[in-house]
A and B are shown apart, each in its own frame.
Chain A
Amino acid sequence: DQQVKQNSPSLSVQEGRISILNCDYTNSMFDYFLWYKKYPAEGPTFLISISSIKDKNEDGRFTVFLNKSAKHLSLHIVPSQPGDSAVYVCAADSNTGNQFYFGTGTSLTVIP
């Protein structure tokens, strides 16, 4: 049973435009959410996170938005750059703090 879902397997965006990656979850007990960036044949790299007490967290070109009522979060990248091309994986933490649930990832291609 997939508790974290990324329904778009791929996304293509023109360089300089905004990339929006979406993630939905089913467990209302999740209280911390993370985005990882993953290149082929490498492990995921932590990108940005957000606590359930916030609805927005910004770090440079990356902003994560959380809508708790909709059980939805999104990652915005603006402006998108070709180096952002990678798979972006959404993850959520159960209230134990040590068990993470991951989505299947969205492959982002930024076209120069």
Chain B
Amino acid sequence: GAGVSQSPSNKVTEKGKDVELRCDPISGHTALYWYRQSLGQGLEFLIYFQGNSAPDKSGLPSDRFSAERTGGSVSTLTIQRTQQEDSAVYLCASSPQGAGSYEQYFGPGTRLTVT
């Protein structure tokens, strides 16, 4: 079946602009995660959704970052007033169960470059 998809695959934006990154999880997966992979760093947890709610937003690096999930499916990560340090690959993952399910299926990522 179809895996996790993300769009766009690449995004170049000017500093100060807003961007939206989209994640389509595997159908039926209740849990959805957003991560950020910066150059030379490990994957950084951003936010976790169980259904449409986000019980853990502690990883969001600033109030410029927000995310939502609708219909228990598609999720959007929004970065407002982008800064150069936001440049990274943003990865989405979904899981068939809730918290405690460790088998996460990752999308290919969105490479964000802020100029």
Q: How far is the CB of B76 from chain A (nearest CB, A)?
A: 18
Q: A99 near B45 (CB under 8 angstroms)?
A: yes
The answer to whether A69 has its CB under 8 Å from any CB of chain B is no
Q: B42 near A103 (CB under 8 angstroms)?
A: yes
Q: B102 near A43 (CB under 8 angstroms)?
A: no
CB neighbours (8 Å) of A36 from chain B are 106
Q: A98 near B106 (CB under 8 angstroms)?
A: no
Q: A43 near B42 (CB under 8 angstroms)?
A: no
Q: How would residues 28 to 62 of chain A score, 1 for a CB under 8 Å from any chain B CB and 0 otherwise?
A: 00001010100001111110010000000000000
Among A2, A42, A46, A105, contact of B104 (Cβ-Cβ < 8 Å) = A46
26 interchain pairs, CB-CB under 8 A: A4-B42, A32-B102, A42-B106, A43-B106, A43-B107, A43-B109, A46-B105, A89-B42, A89-B43, A93-B102, A96-B56, A96-B99, A97-B99, A98-B33, A98-B48, A98-B50, A98-B55, A98-B99, A98-B100, A99-B59, A100-B33, A100-B43, A102-B44, A103-B42, A104-B41, A105-B42
**A contact residues vs B (CB 8 Å cutoff):** 2, 4, 32, 34, 36, 41-46, 49, 89, 91, 93, 96-105
